[in-house]
Structure 1
């Protein structure tokens, strides 16, 4: 403990000396960055990261390279404080997780490296997954968003009803329970109603043909989410992709440049409950539900949904089956209020954790 304390003091001096005067001038009375009533070591870690905007000339201090990337920077300072407050239990395992993850060091302080935090309501943290549930009002409707960070694409998985392709439909709760380490799930494209292709789930191809009638979404194994307007995707294009999941429903809610749209390949553009997969970058996603068909939340139009996705910062977004199917499911129950109690489903797209070693 004394060694760690000395290390923290030295590291803070290396990184923070230029900023001490500025902090004093600000006269801040509280370091409670998390808004939890009192400052903690986690608050200090996040504050230190905010302050370290200029790269430190500290690469000679190899003992400070906690992320083991060959460079000493603000990430190492943040990691040290996370370790001090118990959020990292094994520095070698921590560095290994960062070196192989989809996000690398980016957003690493959103994860938890000393076990698992799970409130059973969708909020979850481990070394592999971070999920935060956000609720609010937009366009006169209630929305429910799971903000998702994963270091491994296997933390996003499709679950079929009855655990089999074309199995009889089941409730969202039952579908989530079929995934042993499932955290939160969103209804999919209800593939079994039409069997449009191509259909790939968890890397397995079930339907080969490519429909020309609908927009298509593809999640690749490198974590990238791609959307294609109808009649664009070809077999040759598909063959170049390392595909993990494909949905055929739509429409795509943002154009090829990530901007809003006003025209959609859909006949259901009026106010309705909606389900959306949102994408920021490989490793960072969102499940979005907008409730509808009730007094204070009548549903959102496709045009407004496109605008909302842009406001949320999505770079790509894809509309899934909506209406009575729309559900964001946690272990303790539905997070949103599905219309008329919801309906049974053929598939659920689930955030899950990797097996704990």
Structure 2
């Protein structure tokens, strides 16, 4: 009788787990040591999310994308940063979103709000086109604004490849070349595998929060998010960010908006510490990834 009850309860538990579609698997160290990591598995979408509870590293795996998020702390000086390694199956998984879902210079929303509204797995702040009122804005292959800053824009092609062109093109010419999105807060940091050196002034001396993205292979990307303007993390110069991207094998590298805009969102939460006193800064656009 007891055995029958146990079997019935086991079947019920399996049914409930299947309905919910999610189960949590704990990996426990032997000999009563502390728990090291936890994994969440979504059976319906075949998604695994593993977090190492000792160092905060996160791994996301699905049929179409892998994401590895590694928190990094440095001392002398104090720096807190996140290294995000991303590989997708298709260039269409790199997305862009406007605040308010429209191109409007006045609209502002937080990175996390836009990310959740667009079902982003991972998102970062964009290029602040609302502040850079003389910059290219091409999103989803549509030219919203066709002027440029002094720096060349990052062009994300339809196939997911990055481009930073030496020559000046119109927005329509960029679209004809395959441009899907442009970001041009700037400056460009890595061009064709080489660091772009702007000298010893603002490029190497200004320490601030940073958001930067690079490409290191077909459909493989590196994002660096650096906190700053605090005792825990003073920030990083653009040159040092470029050096970090190059050390990770990036062929292209680009600086997005930084300072109080710097935000890293993953799976429903903000991972970094935005430096504005009120937390996340409302901004004009994001760059994000989807399954």
Query: How many residues get paired?
Result: 242
What is the deviation of 1:172? 1.6
* DSSP-derived class of the 1:154 partner: helix
1:171 matched to 2:101: no
1:59-70 map, 5 Å: none
1:37 and 1:241, CA in 2 relative to 1: closer, same or farther beyond 3 A?
A: farther
Q: Which has the higher helix share?
A: 1
State how far apart, in whole Å, the 2-side matches of 1:276 and 1:258 are. Answer: 15
1:219 matched to 2:153: no
What is the deviation of 1:285? 0.8
What is the deviation of 1:342? 3.0
Which structure 1 segments of 5+ residues have no match? 1-34, 39-86, 88-111
1:113 and 1:262, CA in 2 relative to 1: closer, same or farther beyond 3 A?
A: farther
1:350 matched to 2:291: no
Provide, for residues 101-128 of structure 1, a one-character-per-residue CA deviation record: whole Å limited to 9, x for no partner: xxxxxxxxxxx99722246997422111
Residue in 1 aligned with 2:46?
115
1:223 and 1:233, CA in 2 relative to 1: closer, same or farther beyond 3 A?
A: same
Return the index of the structure with the highest Cα Rg: 1
Which structure 2 segments of 5+ residues have no match? 1-26, 31-40
What is the deviation of 1:197? 3.5
> Which structure has the higher relative contact order (CA within 8 Å, separation 6+)?
2
State how far apart, in whole Å, the 1-side matches of 2:179 and 2:28 are. Answer: 42
State how far apart, in whole Å, the 2-side matches of 1:332 and 1:177 are. Answer: 7
What is the deviation of 1:331? 3.1
Structure 2-normalised TM-score?
A: 0.74
CA RMSD across the alignment: 3.0
Residue in 1 aligned with 2:81?
143
Provide, for residues 107-164 of structure 1, a one-character-per-residue CA deviation record: whole Å limited to 9, x for no partner: xxxxx99722246997422111111111113574111122111101121111111112
Q: Which has the higher strand share?
A: 2
* DSSP-derived class of the 1:249 partner: coil
* DSSP-derived class of the 1:307 partner: helix
Residue in 2 aligned with 1:203?
141
Structure 1-normalised TM-score?
A: 0.61
1:263 matched to 2:198: yes
